[in-house]
Amino acid sequence: QGLFLEKESSYLGEFCNKNKANQLTDEEFQLLLDYNAYLYKKAAEKILAGRFAINPYTENGRSIAPYVQQHQAITGFEANYHLGQARFLEKLDLADGKRLV
């Protein structure tokens, strides 16, 4: 599992998933790195300003990721009571590098 550079896929072992969906071009990889750096910078700015949400993300507004239950004791988030407070996951449009809403 994971993401791999397209040009390095020939070095992957037989048990690696070599699906095209898991392979990135150099441009796609750089875009992903740049976007991650942007997200870290924005998160750091919010944390330093004293604003940080611990609410989990939702992709569809109807459910949250199953692993969130593991952190329920820390966050106090219970989906059946607090789903309206979940944050919507923003996705990146790889075609032009702009966020999808």
Other C-beta atoms lying within 10 Å of the C-beta of residue 82: 14
One digit per residue, the tens of pLDDT, for the chain of length 101 reads 677 777 777 667 666 666 666 778 889 889 989 999 999 999 899 889 987 767 777 777 777 776 666 667 777 777 677 777 777 777 777 676 555 44
- Describe the chain by its helix, strand, coil percentages, rounded to 5: 50, 15, 40
Bridge partner list, 99? 92
Question: Hey, where are the domains in the chain?
Answer: 1-43, 53-101
Look at residues 38, 75, 33 and name the one whose alpha carbon lies nearest to residue 57: 75
Q: Write b or e for each residue in 50-77: b if 16 or more Cβ atoms lie within 10 A of its Cβ, otherwise e.
A: eeeeebbebeeeeebeeebeeeeeeeeb
